[in-house]
Structure 1
Amino acid sequence: MAVVNRIADFAPEMKTWRQHLHQIPELALDLPKTAAYVAERLREIGVDELHEGIATSGMVAIINGQGNTAGQGPTIGLRADMDALPIPEETGVDYASQHAGNMHACGHDGHTTMLLGAAKYLAETRNFSGRVALIFQPAEEAIGGARIMVEEGIMERFDIGEVYALHNAPGLPVGSFVTTPGALMAAVDTFHIHIQGVGGHGAMPHETRDPVMAACGIAQALQTIISRNHHTLEDLVVSVTQIHTGTVDNVIPDTAYINGTVRTFNPQVQAMVMRRMEEIVAGQAASYGVTAELNYEVGYPATINDAAKAGFAAEVAGEVSGPENVEADGGREMGAEDFSYMLNARPGAYLFLGQGESAGLHHPKYNFNDDIAPIGASFFARVVERAQPLG
């Protein structure tokens, strides 16, 4: 494994950074401690510019390549997400979350550390000709911090021409990389259905208009969208994930609530799902004698790699981990990622970096593997050096 030697030298320092970040998990856009710690490290590292307060707590740090004293020329964007999740931690590590109810259950503390490690190396060596923009982003897990940063103009403001990001992957061998040209992850939408019936005594259902039965009927009917309304070769997920109704065994309630997620790649499939949901909710409500309101929220778009950039990124990953440890056409999955907004704005690539066997992402026992931080940092650094060679 060809981890950059200099980055390997400060791997213990990166471990310290990561474990400190792990103790101060913060949510969405509100990351005051996290952002302050990252900014402090970047100033110590000696970046040329540090622009804070983007998307509330995000920042962009600029490092100019060797001889680029004017800070001009093509700029490569490297992105790390910084936010955590509202999950109580169960890892038992001595550096566990000090913020009750929150934890870094997706490894964003590790992603931030990898980008800081690349920043330290790039600021020290400057073995490249152009510029690099280090994008530290809030609110990947909710709200879409990437969308906000793009809307606030970071691509134009910093003349970013291409963008790259990594995500750790439990279950993949340590140091292995997986990516794919084109669509990598799905668009994610959320639906809420509020049902209004007429409650009453459980022993006298004929006097009610039962929202419980209506909720069951709607939930089952939504699955016919997949089985009867779309082509089997088009990837689609429609999952009902919550049904809330009732309080006691002998009372039929007045209301019920259904919640779930939709994952698509094709905008036409997405539009079909929205149309069919409206029709199913209205039709089922009428058949059960209740009223129902559908609130369909369009979320993150599909994460689509630029084919050429994905190929380039896979080559760089092969330099770091060996070509035999890189799957350059790994197919697509139904997870979602707000880096999609940055890829919609500029060509680039998103890759998964194996962290070995561990608890899964978003699990209360998950913990980022510090051993892969130098690998990710080396990947980021080599992307810049390969894309912007000296001479």
Structure 2
Amino acid sequence: MTHPLLADLEPLRADLTAIRQDIHAHPEMGFEERRTAALVAERLRRFGLSVEEGIGGTGVVATLKGRRPGNRAIALRADMDALQIHEQTGVAYASQTPGTMHACGHDGHTTMLLGAAEFLSRQPDFAGDVHFVFQPAEEGRGGAARMIEDGLFDRFPCDAVYGMHNAPGLPVGRFRLRSGAMMAAVDFFTVTFRGTGGHGGSTPHLATDVTIAQAHFCLALQNVIGRNIAAVETAVISIGSIQGGSPVSPNVMPAELVITGTARTFSDETQAIVERRLTELAHAHAAAQGCKAEVDYGHYTRVLENDPDHARLAARAASSLVGEEAVDADAPPITGGEDFADMLRVKPGAFIFIGNGVKPDGSFHAVHTPLYDFNDDILTLGAGYWVSLVRQELAAAA
């Protein structure tokens, strides 16, 4: 049986689908979302909301006041940026920008929040304020941090902030989240080993060999997990590339070798241990071979931690639409990252996943792949979650 709220949202479906597919056809990279931001701002003003643009670059924030008296305020956040991937979906509304596509569903996230804003603007039967936050540059360019630095929570005070992301492979009509650490801190590193190089056939004994330094470093790196991280903690360190020398000069020992990789952790303490030990091992193994090492270790996202109380509120809002059996409120953490974690460091709140669907044979196209596409069937459900959350969080006092 369809929830009455979802039935009320159904008339918006066709328009929301058109908006989502229009945004999909015109993807923009982080801090370049000028067309998308303009579309969002125009729609929000059409709904009668107070709108401010250019926050943190290309961010947009709109505020809606409930018709009932209340002092509480909450923020709802959606991301707007795309990825540098060449689309291969073949859909009629495929990307018109070569090499760029909405491969993570941010077009859908933006549209669902617009749907909620439109619906609530017609029925503002709540007590307090809702800030609709449309964030730029989630995909590694620091959009959340930029908005915060630009005074997001000072200019738009709120008691809590919430986010949502689609989940391919999770059936339509289902949600999942957890209290505490839900998504990993994502780090990237580059280690450059430098030596003298040399002739590998006639005078290798006169050279300092960066290949031996990197070989020992790569092996030792995997011991960090087993010997420096507590057994009850979770962490991953992976090498993504090793580049050095030339395949057409097999007798030349390279003077420089570069290694890149990623680390995923679920606490600030573990993250710090991994960074420290990786740096120590790089310098130690370089020195053992008479070489030098340079380490560039960067934090891509922080650990995303849901506040327990707000996670329960988020789960309740989803359950009210689809039933408790369709909401996994204790889902296992995942090693993907989200810069919404920065917002949760400033304000309490929760992040939730909404099912993007799975084919009858169990297959699906994952995010960040050329065949991925957001499922328009969940647009009103996602908008309904936001409305349900607002009604719950900003219920008028009895």
TM-score tier (shorter): over 0.9
Task: For residues 7-30 of structure 1, give each alpha carbon's deviation from its aligned partner in whole angstroms, at most 9, with x where no partner exists.
Answer: 211111111000010011111112
Deviation of the 1:67 alpha carbon: 4.8
In the alignment, which residue of structure 2 is the partner of 1:346? 347
Task: For residues 295-337 of structure 1, give each alpha carbon's deviation from its aligned partner in whole angstroms, at most 9, with x where no partner exists.
Answer: 2223322111110110011011011112110011113222111
Matched, 1:373 2:375: no
Task: For residues 99-154 of structure 1, give each alpha carbon's deviation from its aligned partner in whole angstroms, at most 9, with x where no partner exists.
Answer: 11111111000000100000110111112121100000001111221111112221
Task: For residues 166-204 of structure 1, give each alpha carbon's deviation from its aligned partner in whole angstroms, at most 9, with x where no partner exists.
Answer: 100011111200011111111122211111122344434
In the alignment, which residue of structure 1 is the partner of 2:188? 190
Q: 1:82 aligns with which of 80, 83, 86?
A: 80
- Which runs of 5 or more structure 2 residues have no equivalent in the other structure? 359-363
Matched, 1:258 2:253: no
Q: Is the 8 A contact 2:56 2:148 kept in 1?
A: no
In the alignment, which residue of structure 1 is the partner of 2:104? 106
Matched, 1:364 2:366: no
Q: CA RMSD in A?
A: 1.6
Matched residue type, 1:368: F
- The separation in 2 between residues aligned to 1:272 and 1:10, in whole angstroms, is 50
Q: Is the 8 A contact 1:246 1:252 kept in 2?
A: yes
In the alignment, which residue of structure 2 is the partner of 1:218? 217
In the alignment, which residue of structure 1 is the partner of 2:140? 142
Deviation of the 1:73 alpha carbon: 2.6
Task: For residues 229-288 of structure 1, give each alpha carbon's deviation from its aligned partner in whole angstroms, at most 9, with x where no partner exists.
Answer: 221111111111121222323233221111111111222222222221122111111222
Matched residue type, 1:383: L
3-state SS of 1:160 partner: coil
Matched residue type, 1:12: A
- Which runs of 5 or more structure 1 residues have no equivalent in the other structure? none
In the alignment, which residue of structure 1 is the partner of 2:114? 116
Deviation of the 1:344 alpha carbon: 1.1
- The separation in 2 between residues aligned to 1:319 and 1:180, in whole angstroms, is 17
Matched residue type, 1:297: G
3-state SS of 1:354 partner: strand
- The separation in 2 between residues aligned to 1:109 and 1:311, in whole angstroms, is 27
- The separation in 2 between residues aligned to 1:122 and 1:246, in whole angstroms, is 61
- The separation in 1 between residues aligned to 2:15 and 2:201, in whole angstroms, is 67
- The separation in 1 between residues aligned to 2:276 and 2:356, in whole angstroms, is 41
Aligned ranges 1:30-41 → 2 under 5 Å: 30-41=32-43
Structure 1 window deviating more from structure 2 (146-155 vs 302-311): it is 146-155
In the alignment, which residue of structure 1 is the partner of 2:361? none
Aligned ranges 1:1-391 → 2 under 5 Å: 1-2=2-3, 3-47=5-49, 49-67=50-68, 73-204=71-202, 205-249=204-248, 250=250, 251-357=252-358, 358-390=364-396
Matched residue type, 2:109: H
Deviation of the 1:95 alpha carbon: 0.7
Q: Could you tell me the TM-score, scaled by structure 1's length?
A: 0.95
3-state SS of 1:130 partner: strand
Deviation of the 1:210 alpha carbon: 2.9
Aligned pairs, how many? 387
Deviation of the 1:290 alpha carbon: 1.8
Matched residue type, 1:317: A
Q: Could you tell me the TM-score, scaled by structure 2's length?
A: 0.93
Q: Is the 8 A contact 2:168 2:367 kept in 1?
A: yes
Structure 1 window deviating more from structure 2 (121-130 vs 77-86): it is 121-130
Matched residue type, 1:156: D
Q: Is the 8 A contact 2:84 2:99 kept in 1?
A: yes
Q: Is the 8 A contact 1:155 1:161 kept in 2?
A: no
Deviation of the 1:33 alpha carbon: 1.2
- Among all aligned residue pairs of Structure 1 and Structure 2, give the percentage whose two residues are the same amino acid: 44
- The separation in 2 between residues aligned to 1:157 and 1:315, in whole angstroms, is 29
Deviation of the 1:215 alpha carbon: 2.3
- The separation in 1 between residues aligned to 2:318 and 2:105, in whole angstroms, is 20
Matched residue type, 2:229: H
3-state SS of 2:335 partner: coil
- The separation in 1 between residues aligned to 2:275 and 2:19, in whole angstroms, is 44
